[in-house]
Amino acid sequence: MTRTPKSNSADHNSLIQWAIQMMKKLSGHLRASIAQVDDIHRQKAIDDLEWEVTEMKHVFALLSAGCFIGMPVVPLPVTLELLPDARQEFAIMLSKIPTAQSPLSEQFSKFDAV
Amino acid sequence: MQRILFFIGKGGVGKSTLSAVTAVALAGQNKNIVLTSLDPAHNQSDLFQIPFSENPSTVLPNLQVIEIDADKWIRSYLKRAEEQFQAAYAYLTTFSLEKYFSVIRNAPGIEAYALMMAFEHICKKYIKADYLIFDMPPTALTLSFFALPGVSLLWLDKLLQLRKEIAEKEKIISTLRLGKKSLERDRVMQNINRQIEHWSELNTVLSADNFKAVVVRNSDVLSQAETARILTRLADLQIKSPFIFNNKVDGLEVGNSDFDFCRGENLIGLEKIKSYCLGLDVGRLQKILEWNI
């Protein structure tokens, strides 16, 4: 059976259609992969930044209210004036009291969450 | 313009006596004077033989004398702090506030801060006086008092820098999470900025041209040595060109001073102080104390 020019053209078109669909699927998969990778990296960046901010807040709490756990640093009047607005910092200081004598155990306890 | 004088020096050199004599002498020149004792171990009541208190007593028509009750200032400050604390931390019922605030009463820096609050109060209340004369405690507490604004500002600046870094990173986190910056107010940063403004105002007063420290010294070796240390420390604190008054001078050479006060016998009571002033070169004293501003 010989192929007529018309049937050759139809095959060619369906091939192109198939290629276009494949390309669309592929680009869809690629976009999804890139979005996933972006999400992972974004989440990692957020986690790193949040850890950094947490540590900076700990330092701030220690500097501003360390006198309540025996670390006189900032002049006490500065601390007392700050305290009504620094609830989070004060809560951090209070939470540090139980582990103040054993910082290693606090570090190891982080593995529990993992 | 109002002038502010702080009489400072080693214990027993005659700060209270000279601040009283200066106050009476200037009042005799028709100047409006407020003499305040910031020394917790007050002597003005003993000198004038009049009981003084936080309420001003009119000793002469243009001379009022006050003795600050440092304990009262500390108590009222801690009460205010405790009330603010209780309001903010109402959920911390297991945290014993009383225990902490009774300890804080004796913590380093609190007494100097109480004197600073009293000083601020006097400056605001008596803005029309020609002279505010302060009889200061012995050296250690006085130098803590002068250092307090500078030290507080140093720490507040560090805290503010750290807080700004925290705020920047939180903005980035918020942008990453939500795609937009959150606009939550940082109350701690606002608090720090308020404190910076307050301490800067006090620092400005203590470094203004109308403020002078008057260092009182005697001829003995210990007084001379302590005076040298005081002058070094004042220079470190950038307190400009203090006056030096020699007291209990017996005609012996004690070194350069702005004014010499000879030894006075039994300067107890207003009449004795007035009589002593008659023997002073009050015109020269007044000229010195009207320095160019």
Calpha distance B5→B159 (Å, rounded): 33
Among all chains, which residue has been given the structure tokens 């004014």?
B259
Q: Does B133 touch chain A (CB under 8 A)?
A: no
Which residue of B83, B111, B156 to mutate against A (max A Cβ within 10 Å)?
A: B156
* Residues on chain A touching B192 (C-beta within 8 angstroms): 82
- Compute the average pLDDT of residues B213-222: 93
The alpha carbon of residue B223 and the mean position of all alpha carbons in its chain are separated, in whole angstroms, by: 22
Burial of B101 (0-12, 13-18, 19+ CB in 10 A): middle
B88 Cα to chain A: minimum distance (Å):
6
pLDDT at B97: 61
Calpha distance B191→A34 (Å, rounded): 44
The sheet with strand B131-135 has its strands ordered as B57-60, B63-67, B33-37, B131-135, B3-8, B211-217, B243-249, B259-262
Contact criterion met (CB below 8 Å) for B213 and B239: yes
Nearest CA in chain B to A86: B188
* Mean of pLDDT over chain B: 89
Are A84 and B169 an interchain contact pair (Cβ–Cβ within 8 Å)?
no
Are A75 and B187 an interchain contact pair (Cβ–Cβ within 8 Å)?
no
Mean pLDDT lowest for which of B23-37, B77-91, B271-285? Answer: B77-91
- Compute the average pLDDT of residues A12-21: 91
Among all chains, which residue has been given the structure tokens 């709490």?
A61
Are B169 and A49 an interchain contact pair (Cβ–Cβ within 8 Å)?
yes
Alpha carbons within 13 A on the beta-carbon side of A3: 8
Contact criterion met (CB below 8 Å) for B176 and B150: no
pTM here is 0.80
Length of chain A, please?
114
Among all chains, which residue has been given the structure tokens 């100047």?
B31
Are B166 and A67 an interchain contact pair (Cβ–Cβ within 8 Å)?
no
pLDDT at B254: 55
Burial of B120 (0-12, 13-18, 19+ CB in 10 A): middle
Per-residue pLDDT band for A73 (boundaries 50, 70, 90) equals confident
Read off the pLDDT of residues B170-207 as tens digits, 9 standing for 90 and up. 888 888 887 766 656 788 999 999 999 999 999 999 98
- Compute the average pLDDT of residues B263-291: 91
> Does ipTM come in above 0.85?
no
A59 pLDDT above the threshold of 50: yes
